[in-house]
Structure 1
Amino acid sequence: MEILKEELSPADFKATKSNRIRYSRNDFRQLPYFATDFEWKDYSPAVFRRILELDSIEYSDYQLSVCGDETLKEVTLSGKLGMVFLLSNDKRFILKTLRKSEVKIYLEMLPNYYDHLMKYGSSLLAKLYGLHVVRPAGGVKVYFVVFGNVIPSDICIFEHYDLKGSSKGRAENKVIIQERPVHKDMDFDFSFYLDPLVRDRLLAQIKTDCEFLESEGVMDYSLFLAIQMESPHQVDKRTSRRTDKEIIDDTSEGSDESSELTLADICDLLDRPGFRFGASLPARAVRAFKKEMGSSRSNRSRNSRAQSSAQECFNVLLFFGIVDICQNYNMRKRLEHACKSIKYDSKSIATVNPKAYSSRFQEFMSEVFLPEVSDDFSDSRVSGASSSNRVSAASSSKISVR
């Protein structure tokens, strides 16, 4: 991979690059607007190419995926349908069509967004890989942004969720991903138990990301969460997860290194360049009883250990990221907040100012991700080994060292 070593300048964030893409009639049938020529413009190409490098994505691979004839055809046809989401042919990227006003928001946020990614390699913010506009000959311009797909294309997902931390209007919608509907907050009945240190670091990163979005005046973002089940079964407290000793024995087999790790060792693991919380994070999932669904999530969280002997538990891998990060608190959103506040509790609606949205979102995340507690957790050396080995075993294949 060609590495761009030069520092980016302010001009790089304002630069554009125009090209013309041409297909033959044989390669591009059922053409939109009956055209084979497309005008293509890249916004801030050097900046987005640098972001691609951070995730070890070849620019040539990105071009083949996004500029392929089928993908380009779907993008241009979507210009007549309004805002839509599209999946690239290789399922590595998500394309979202935009209004021109939204392009301006992305470009204004880009310098600070780029600095944030450089400073926090484990950020959960959706990775933006490109901002483009395409126009077929004789057609209209279509603006779109390209994100990295949170969900790997080669895994089987149990459920998808789009979570904001609000309740009004947050029932299941008709969006389908990998032949499964995307559920929302009112359908969410899981809690995920993580090692306490991992949870603390995860919530700290969520706090950092939310503070960035708040400083940019952004609200209405979501945690997009995909759950991969490993072994669903009914378990009690004694069998809901493997013991620390079993995990240590399995992961240290054939290794000459000591398995006794301190909390500082785990901190070092989580600070590795390229570590991503949202890429295959192991957790113990607890699903609430149906009769508990009327109670608040906080109450269910506090009582979960007392009732864990009869709850449905799963070993899971979690894939997640913070998406929809370009909605600012504009006049339309302010009016929407004023109207909905008359009818509903202002704390239950999604449309609130960025500061209130950030606080509510963080509070909700602290109730979704809970600390795992075991009888032998007081021994920090043993539990530290368990935490590090579980994170390392599940995420080593996902970590790319810069």
Structure 2
Amino acid sequence: MDIHWFTGIKSIRDLLSSDFCMFIGAFCIYFYLLSWDYTALLSIEIFIKFRHPQNTNYEKRRWWYHLGSHLTSLGVFFWLIFGQDNDGKSIMKTCFSQAGKKYELAIMAPVFLHFPICVVATGYSWYISYGTFYRSCLKYHMLVVVAFTVGWVPIAIVHGLSYEPFHINIHKHEWFILISIFLGALSGALIFTARMMQRGLLIKIIDSIFHPRKFAVINKKNSLCTELQPDKICEGLQGSYARVFNSVTVKAINDILLGISTVLINSENTSQEQGKIINHDHREWNFTSKIPEQGKFIITQYNILSHEKIMKHAGISYQDLYKYYIYSSLNAPENYENIESRCKSIGGKSGAFFYFTSDKELILKTIKDEELDVLKEIMKDYSERITSEPCSYLSKIFGAYKIKIENRSTVRVILMENLLSRMENPIMFDLKGSKKNRKLSMTSYFNADSMPRNRVYKDLDFMDVVTDIQFGTFEMPEVLESIELDTDLLRKHKLMDYSLLMGLDDRHFLNSSMSKGNNVFKIGKYSVIIGIIDYFQAYNTRKKLEKGYKMIKSKSEEVSVMSPEPYRTRFMNLMRTIFSSTNLINNFQ
């Protein structure tokens, strides 16, 4: 981007033709706009991450950021190349954009678009990160924004004011032009210096270039994530913004685990003063962590009696949850490695944050406020169903919490069983009973063994291989009776969009002592685990509008979104097809 400054040397500029000067200018403007795009988008992502530290969806947006930034910058590049009256000779007497022409507005545009975004997003991120370790991560990005602003905003203003229709004689202010040239020429050095002010980063970059293998080993061995010191990552090993995001995620998980562990420790002793009873079934906990920078916690524990009933039915106590699941995860270094991949639900579209405990037995999942309201409403009937006969296939929830930490956003989480914890590398299906957009890929598999793992397949994928799985009729009537009762409970509470999660494993033995649960079957050569998941969605106004939109778009009444009654009918049709018929494909309506 800075090569155009060399064309300011008269002897070099005289050697260049007008077309070549125009090309150099367009090339530099392309990277100039691209740099502004990346700086603004990164500022926005940092704000989102600080605001919602448990959110890991930025990976999905990154591709669109790259695509959008390059396309817009390329559009300006071709406009400069094929536009008229552009010889590339700028007011700075370099090869950039022709002085006084409309192309000057492209240079000035970031002053009104990108610059305010950077200032507002970064400034607000600084504000909301008060009293947290996030500031130590943010200060280096702020220095980059400041360096970029000092280096390029004056240049943009000079180019914009030189646009002829503005009738501003910018040459009357020669001093401003000279200062702009001076700062612009130093912009690259300013930005590089700002980035390299991070302690040890330059040494790491040099070492990674000359000793890449050594650097990779050291980086893996000394990962501060594994030392449970996320607040030190920004000053330590991290050399990229991805590592900053990683450290923020680690910190968010650490906070949630610490808060829940404190609640679990004290839950069996209801005389604890910090546990304030809100009503007969909710309790609010207020405490300040002794760990530096953790701050004050306010945690609301919901539906305590109902969750205790489920825990008792499962043979689990508060101490068990704390000692064997939460505390072990809080103190397991390996549980913080590859943290971004551990916090994702494969195939999930809700944007929820998933975190698997170290033994994979339990999941911490964030839920929306409206989903928490649904859970509170159904909890009494739900706990009755879970603990009654015949056994329920609804996934078990052992706790629901709203966690507010000082200077951080509120997060709502549930502690639930991981249905597939007993399987090492299962084939997974998410079944709803619909054929509309219910195929993962265009590839058709003829048997389950040929299906790649670590994906969640859908209804039509299942029908491709169902005959290979060899479902029989052994114990199936009992399964259908249980699912009938489960879905009837959901129907009564006007819930829909739930699905049957099915895992297949061709190994003879499953992990953990829980492998003898009622939701585990042996069918043919496969061990099969089933459970009903994602049952918090009410048929609300948003879903009704979504149904109407999809019906108009597809010009058909067959859409995936349905009201609770027909949704249950469609779902149970698939359940009967799977568990009570040998002619599975023909019965799939």
Q: TM-score, normalised by structure 1?
A: 0.61
More strand by share: 1
Tell me, yes or no, if the aligned pair for 1:93 and 1:146 is still in contact at 8 Å: yes
Is 1:48–2:317 an aligned residue pair? no
User: 2:556 aligned with 1:362, yes or no?
Assistant: no
Whole-angstrom CA distance in 2 between matches of 1:230 and 1:90: 19
2:389 corresponds, among 110, 114, 120, to 120
Q: Give matches, 1:238-249, under 5 Å.
A: none
The answer for the alignment partner of 1:84 in structure 2 is: 353
Q: Equivalences for 1:195-210 in 2 at 5 Å?
A: 195-210=472-487
Correspondence 1:15 to 2:15:
no
Q: Give yes or no for the alignment of 1:184 onto 2:443.
A: no
Residues 228 and 160 of structure 1: is their aligned pair in 2 closer, same or farther, counting only changes over 3 Å?
same
CA contact (8 A) 1:13 1:47 kept: no
2:495 aligned partner? 218
Q: Which amino acid aligns with 2:457?
A: H
Paired residues of 1:84 and 1:97 also in contact (CA < 8 A): yes
Alpha-carbon shift at residue 352 of structure 1 (Å): 0.2
Tell me the distance in 2 between the aligned counterparts of 1:161 and 1:41: 34
User: Are 2:312 and 1:38 equivalent residues in the alignment?
Assistant: no
Per-residue CA deviation, residues 55-107 of structure 1 (Å, 9 max, x unaligned), is 112311213434654799989xx8xx962222122211112211212111110
Change (3 A) 1:179 1:60: farther
Separation (CA, whole Å) in 2 of partners of 1:194 and 1:223: 16
Could you tell me the TM-score, scaled by structure 2's length? 0.42
- Summarize the Cα distance change of 1:275–1:108 in structure 2 as closer, same or farther, 3 Å threshold: farther
Structure 1 stretches lacking a partner, 5+ long? 5-10, 26-33, 232-273, 285-314, 374-402
Alpha carbons of structure 1 residues 157 and 195: separation in structure 2 relative to 1, 3 Å:
same
Once the two structures are TM-superposed, the CA of residue 15 in structure 1 deviates from its matched residue by 2.1
Q: What CA distance in whole angstroms lies between the structure 1 residues aligned with 2:429 and 2:557?
A: 21
1:345–1:66 CA distance, 2 compared to 1 (3 A): farther
Q: CA deviation at 1:127?
A: 0.6
Aligned CA distance change for structure 1 residues 16 and 350 (closer, same or farther; 3 Å): farther
Name 1:335's counterpart in structure 2: 545
Which residue pairs with 2:521 in the alignment?
A: 281
Instruction: Show CA shifts across 1:326-361 (max 9, x none).
Output: 101000001111111123375642210101110100
The unaligned stretches of length 5 or more in structure 2 are 1-267, 269-277, 344-349, 442-451, 509-514, 584-589
Give the number of equivalent residue pairs.
274
Does residue 1:353 correspond to 2:563, yes or no? yes
Distance 2:574 2:369 in 1: 32
- CA separation of 1:117 and 1:12: change in aligned 2, threshold 3 A: farther
Give the 3-state SS of the residue equivalent to 2:537 in structure 1. Answer: coil
SS in 2 for 1:83: coil
Give the 3 Å change call, closer, same or farther, for CA 23–51 of structure 1 in structure 2. Answer: farther
Bigger RCO of structures 1 and 2 (CA < 8 A, at least 6 apart): 1
Between structures 1 and 2, the one with greater helix share: 2
Distance 1:54 1:19, change over 3 A: farther
Any conservation in 1 of the 2:427–2:453 contact (CA below 8 Å)? no
Offset of residue 151 of structure 1: 1.4
Q: Please state whether the residue corresponding to 1:48 is helix, strand or coil.
A: helix
Change (3 A) 1:363 1:124: same
Cα displacement (A) at 1:363:
0.6
Q: Which has the larger radius of gyration?
A: 2
Alignment-derived partner of residue 159 in structure 1: 427
